[in-house]
Amino acid sequence: MRRERPDDRGRFGAYGGAFAPETLMPALIDLERAFVDAWEDPGFRGDLAGLLADYVGRPTPVYHAQRLSAQLGLDLWLKREDLAHTGAHKINNTIAQGLLTKRMGKRRVIAETGAGQHGVATATACALLDLECVVYMGVKDIERQALNVYRMELLGAEVIPVTSGAGTLKEAVSAALRGWVSSVESTHYIIGSVVGPHPYPWMVREFQKVIGEELQEQLHETPDVIVAPVGGGSNAMGIFFPYVGDSDVLLVGVEAGGFGIETGRHGASLGEGSPGVLHGAMTYMLQDDFGQVLEAHSISAGLDYPGVGPEHAYFKDEGLVRYVSVTDEEALSAFHRLAVTEGIIPALESAHGLAWIIREAADLAEATVVLNLSGRGDKDVQQVAALDG
Ligand SMILES: *Cc1c(COP(=O)(O)O)cnc(C)c1O
């Protein structure tokens, strides 16, 4: 069954917990206390709801994609998180954690970022709420995502290059956790997904579940299938959670199949990984026989992560959500398909969800299918142009 909150040890079944350095434990306990207190406070809820409405632009629309529905022989609806301010669902979480930072009396925020999307969403919230903002980013990502680095700087954030390892997201999270240890009195760490030590997976789920709650109000029927891409798992958790346990709805999380599962170069932590501890939580992760973390691969930077939120690990074992994968190639093809049939350029992450729907269309005939369109694809246009060229 679905759990409203993790157990006393911060676990969802066997997964989650707080595998963190001793120096961070007081901060994690304070954070849990502050979150519980804020979440029960109508004042905090009201402030957040106001910003989500007037600043982020919520509720995001649910759009009936009629041309693509006709082509696929099913009824396709898009939950338009791409229309949220900054172009993806990530802002739902960063605004809420920004408000919580102020409530805790802290003035400084740190965050990690891969492609830069969470960094931009965090820098945006910090500009809005007058918080100092420092973003850790791997050197390889800084090179690949120069425009997002400049965006964060425009928004007043400082970007700190992380040189260790492959210079990507995994190293950026580790560096941010280390940075937090040395500044925990003054600083809050805004994690970008439903990952990390307790209470983050639970708290970020609570901040993202507004997506599914809106859908319940907007779509005047229970859909047959809800599909979302899974990187760390926050947009999927957000749209799934209100429906988890409802046996009328099939929930499908789509992971990055990269070059193909058989090549070993993918980001399918749930499909192909095994339980282990990554970034403070017990969860499914990509690891070798010695427990060393393997590098993920995906065309989509947001899905290029060797772990996944622990509550998804729990859902997988309980059979509450089905986890599948599609390849880079399938995602790229879906990216083009949505652009030409509906005039919407999706994020490559979101294109993974659509690719699964396209592949399974025959089995989904006549079904009402909702895709969480987690973000817009403007950030990916240059990369796709280079690949197509
Ligand atoms: C970051 C990102 C994702 C992946 O992160 P989740 O935590 O799995 O949601 C998916 N889509 C978009 C548009 C993103 O920016």
Measure 88 CA to ligand 1 centroid, in angstroms: 8
Measure 22 CA to ligand 1 centroid, in angstroms: 30
Quote the CA–CA distance of 184 and 186 in Å, as a whole number: 6
Helix (H, G, I), strand (E, B) or coil at 323: strand
* Residues in CB range of 329: below 8 A, 6 or more apart: none
Quote the CA–CA distance of 190 and 173 in Å, as a whole number: 11
DSSP state of 346: B
**Structure tokens given for 153:** 């700087």
Residue 204's nearest CA partner among 130, 122, 269, 305 is 122
* Segments of the chain scoring below 70 in pLDDT: none
Measure 298 CA to ligand 1 centroid, in angstroms: 13
The residue whose CA is least distant from atom 13 of ligand 1 is 375
The residue whose CA is least distant from atom 1 of ligand 1 is 302
What was the pLDDT predicted at 388? 87
What was the pLDDT predicted at 389? 79
What was the pLDDT predicted at 34? 98
Decide whether any atom of ligand 1 lies within 6 Å of the 233 Cβ: yes
Where b means 16+ CB within 10 Å and e means fewer, 113-131 reads bbbbbbbbbbbbbbbbbeb
* CA-CA-CA-CA torsion sign (321, 111, 44, 26): positive
What was the pLDDT predicted at 106? 97
Decide whether any atom of ligand 1 lies within 6 Å of the 347 Cβ: yes
Q: Is the pTM of this model over 0.75?
A: yes
- The β-bridge relationship of strands 15-16 and 11-12 is antiparallel
The residue whose CA is least distant from atom 3 of ligand 1 is 302
Quote the distance between the C-alpha of residue 121 and its chain's center.
12
Query: Whole-number mean pLDDT of the chain?
Result: 96
* Spatial contact of 231 and 191, defined as CB atoms under 8 Å apart: no
Closest ligand 1 atom number to CA of residue 195: 7
Sheet holding 158-162, edge to edge: 158-162, 132-138, 108-113, 187-189
Cis peptide before 199 (omega within 30 of 0): yes
Residue 159's nearest CA partner among 202, 114, 191 is 114
Quote the CA–CA distance of 236 and 381 in Å, as a whole number: 23
E-strand spans in 261-365? 274-278, 281-285, 322-326
Measure 325 CA to ligand 1 centroid, in angstroms: 15
Quote the CA–CA distance of 382 and 352 in Å, as a whole number: 18
Helix (H, G, I), strand (E, B) or coil at 150: helix
Taken as a whole, the chain contains a residue count of: 389
Burial (Cβ within 10 Å: 0-12, 13-18, ≥19) of residue 389? exposed
* pLDDT tens per residue across span 146-186: 999 999 999 999 999 999 988 888 899 999 999 999 999 99
Angle between helices 117-129 and 146-154 (to 10 degrees): 10
Decide whether any atom of ligand 1 lies within 6 Å of the 231 Cβ: yes
* Spatial contact of 380 and 332, defined as CB atoms under 8 Å apart: no
Measure 262 CA to ligand 1 centroid, in angstroms: 24
Decide whether any atom of ligand 1 lies within 6 Å of the 300 Cβ: no
* Spatial contact of 87 and 378, defined as CB atoms under 8 Å apart: yes
List residues with catalytic annotation: 90, 112, 374
What was the pLDDT predicted at 144? 82
Q: Which helix (H) or strand (E) holds 22?
A: none
The residue whose CA is least distant from atom 7 of ligand 1 is 234
